[in-house]
Amino acid sequence: MKTLGLYSDLDLSLIPHPLTGDLSPKKDAEAVARSVKHLVFWNAFDMPFDPTLKSAVKTYLFGQNNGITRSNLETDIHWILTTLEPRIRLKNIDIKEAMQGRAFDITITYALVSLNRDESVNFIVERVR
């Protein structure tokens, strides 16, 4: 799909372009998807002087993986995305148990407000210790 260049963001993986050697910016839907994923993993104090801006996904990972926990996580994700990501309109957050209770399978579906299309991101969050 052709990018419009409405949104452009720095790729924090900092991998240079194999031909030019420059860092390639992430654009449009890809940039927004990065941002959404980033916000889900946001810890308290990632925003200096404002520890209230956080998603507690890491805390929930080490709790019981049941319906109540997943519902709480969904509330947190909903709150942080509606608070800090004005480029999207949230449509659905689907969280499933994965890896026999050691992980969450998270799918976030949203509409890109300025680009007038729906997108979704999916990722699995697993505790490793």
Partner 1 sequence: MQNLPVQSLKFDNIKENFKEFLRGQSAYTDYNFEGSGVATLLNISSYQTHYIGYFVKMLLDEAFSDSAHTRGAQLSHAKRVGYIPKGKRSASAEVTLKIHTNLADEPASHFLEIPRGATFVAANNNQDQRVFTVLDGSTIYKREVSGSNVTYTSEPLAIYEGTLETWNFKVDSSVLNQRFIIRDRTIDVDSIRVRVKANEFSTNWTEFTLASQISDLDETSNIFFVSTDEHGYYQIFFGNGVFGVQPSNGNYIETTYVSSNGETGNGAKVFAFNPVGSGALAAYSNFETLTLSNAAGGREEETVEELRFAIPNHWRRQNRLVTEGDYRSILLSEFRNIDSMNVWGGEEHIRRDYGKVYVSIKPRNAERLTALAREQIRTSIVKKFGVVGADVVFVDPDFIEVELTVNAKLDLRKTSKTLPEMIALINDRVSEFNTAQLSKFDAILSDLALLNTIKKDDETFVGLYDTKVLTKNYLHLHNSTSSQDVAFGNALIPASIKSSAVTVAGSSLTIKDDGAGLLKLYRADGTVHSTVGSVNYTTGTVTYSLPSAARITGYELSSYGRLAFSGVPLTPDVGTSLNNIVRISKVKVVTG
* Site of interaction with partner 1 (CB under 8 A): 6-12, 25-26, 31, 34-36, 38-39, 42, 46-49, 53, 84-87
Residue closer to partner 1 (CB basis): 36 or 95: 36
Please state the closest distance from residue 49 (CB atom) to partner 1, in A.
5
Please state the closest distance from residue 62 (CB atom) to partner 1, in A.
24
Residue closer to partner 1 (CB basis): 6 or 98: 6
CA–CA distance from 89 to each of 36, 77, 123, 126 (Å)?
11, 13, 19, 27
77-111 b/e (C-beta count within 10 Å ≥ 16 → b): beebbeeebebbeeeebebeeeeeeebbebebebe
**Is residue 7 within 8 Å of 30, Cβ to Cβ?**
no
Residue closer to partner 1 (CB basis): 34 or 70: 34
Please state the closest distance from residue 100 (CB atom) to partner 1, in A.
31
Please state the closest distance from residue 85 (CB atom) to partner 1, in A.
6
Q: How far is CA 12 from the centre of its chain?
A: 14
